[in-house]
Amino acid sequence: MSATKLTIPARKGLAVRVEKGRTFKIVNTHGSQVVDSWAFNADDMSEFMSMEHSRAGFRRLVSQIGDSYLTNRRRPILTVTDDTSPGRHDTLIAACDIYRYQGLGHQGHHDNCTDNLRDALASLNLKAPETPSPLNLFMNIPWEPNGELYWNEPMSLPGDAITFRAEMNVVAVFSTCPMDLMPINGKDCIIHDAEVVIGS
């Protein structure tokens, strides 16, 4: 089966179906873009990738190549098969939402990953039962020995990519994080598109 290349538009979301056993690659086209990611069991949206269950499974704050993310029923849903980035992907921090931007002083509408998840699923006539804590690809949240967390710029370079294998039929959702009030997407605070390549 040939590869399908799709663009995640800047500041927006994209939902795709991926069959069990197929791989998909998220490419950080411009190098500095955080991509919030979710995965749902395509046959039962009440089962989904869960960061709190996944950390208990791979016993780390951040996954490595070969690790599987687990669902809220502790079944493998995505396995990391390759990663050409420095491997820094965040499992700790909530998706941004309108409350986050209001808290930072923004007034009125602001694109946000929580709404992008909802809108991307709606494009497939689907609805999530909740907003699961996201896997924030390329998001650089280092931790200190005393538990302090920092919001740093991504360590990834243009073209860096992470590849997953779907362990069940999934609906995968991606959002190019529109946070432009702090330099989590690079110090220029410019939001970029990214790419998903669904492979064999």
Q: Minimum distance between the CB of residue 90 and a copy of itself, rounded to whole angstroms?
A: 10
Segment near a copy of itself (CB under 8 A), from 5-13, 70-78, 105-113, 182-190?
A: 70-78
Q: Which of 52, 122, 152, 158 binds a copy of itself (CB under 8 A)?
A: 52
Token representation of residue 158: 């243009």
Nearest approach, Cβ of residue 50 and a copy of itself (Å): 7
Q: With binding defined as CB under 8 A, does residue 155 bind a copy of itself?
A: no
Please tell me whether residue 72 binds a copy of itself under the rule CB under 8 A: yes
Residue 127 interacting with a copy of itself (CB under 8 A): no
User: Locate tokens 């070969």: which residue?
Assistant: 66
Q: Is 93 in the site for a copy of itself (CB under 8 A)?
A: yes
Residues 6+ apart with CB under 8 A from 102: none
Residue from 99, 124, 157, 182 touching a copy of itself (CB under 8 A): that is 99
Distance, CA of 180 to CA of 154 (rounded, Å): 14
**Between 30 and 89, CB nearer to a copy of itself:** 89
> 16, 94, 155, 197: which one contacts a copy of itself (CB under 8 A)?
94
- Helix, strand or coil for residue 108? coil
Gap between the Cα atoms of 94 and 136, Å rounded: 9
Structure tokens at 48: 């989904």
Residue 29's identity, in one-letter code, is T
Q: Which of 21, 74, 86, 188 binds a copy of itself (CB under 8 A)?
A: 74
Q: In angstroms, rounded to a whole number, what is the distance separating the alpha carbons of residues 185 and 79?
A: 25
163: CB partners within 8 A, 6+ apart: 23, 24, 25, 26, 80, 81, 82, 83, 199
Judged by the rule CB under 8 A, the positions of this chain that interact with a copy of itself are: 50-53, 55-56, 59-62, 72-75, 92-94, 97, 99-100, 103, 129-131, 133, 143, 145-150
